[in-house]
Amino acid sequence: MPEKFVVDGESVRGLANLLEETGLTEIEYQVGVHRIRVVRGGVAATIPHYTPPPAPVSVSTPSAPSVKAPAVGESVLSPMVGTVYLSGEPEAPPFIKVGDLVSKGDTLLIVEAMKVMNPIRAPRDGKVLEVCVKDSKPVEFGEPLVILE
């Protein structure tokens, strides 16, 4: 018979506080076969040891030609989880727009993480092909922010 798993409320509250402090969207803690996953905006749940196999991938037919093809170029990825801002102030114009030429080191946008504003700089000279994010929206680590030609 499997051992009984008791959820410690203080541990769950501690994990939830850690989410707030770090700006993460979810955190998982495991001891042996027992896991606790806390998701911001969701419900904390225990996950059984058994993980079902992924659902089969359905093959879809190609959509209409009106679908925009992704820009081909170098993606500038988010180095952290946070909130993206396209300008330095709410009423200011954005740092960049599609078609702009940027130089290495130019500020492309800002990612706020844990109340710290982190400028995201151009890794090289290039032309902005696409701005992949919306102002004041959350971004995840590794998410494409800008595509440079």
Q: Where are the domains of the chain?
A: 9-47, 74-148
Cross-strand bridge partners of residue 62: none
On whether the CB atoms of residues 94 and 100 are closer than 8 A, the answer is: no
On whether the CB atoms of residues 135 and 87 are closer than 8 A, the answer is: yes
Q: Which long-range contacts (CB under 8 A, 24 or more apart) does 29-38 make?
A: 34/5, 36/7, 36/11, 36/12, 38/12
Mean pLDDT of the chain: 80
CATH code for the part of the protein at 74-148: 2.40.50.100
Task: Indicate if the pLDDT at residue 56 is higher than 80.
Answer: no
% of the chain residues with pLDDT over 90: 45
Read off the pLDDT band of 57 (50, 70, 90): low
pTM: 0.53
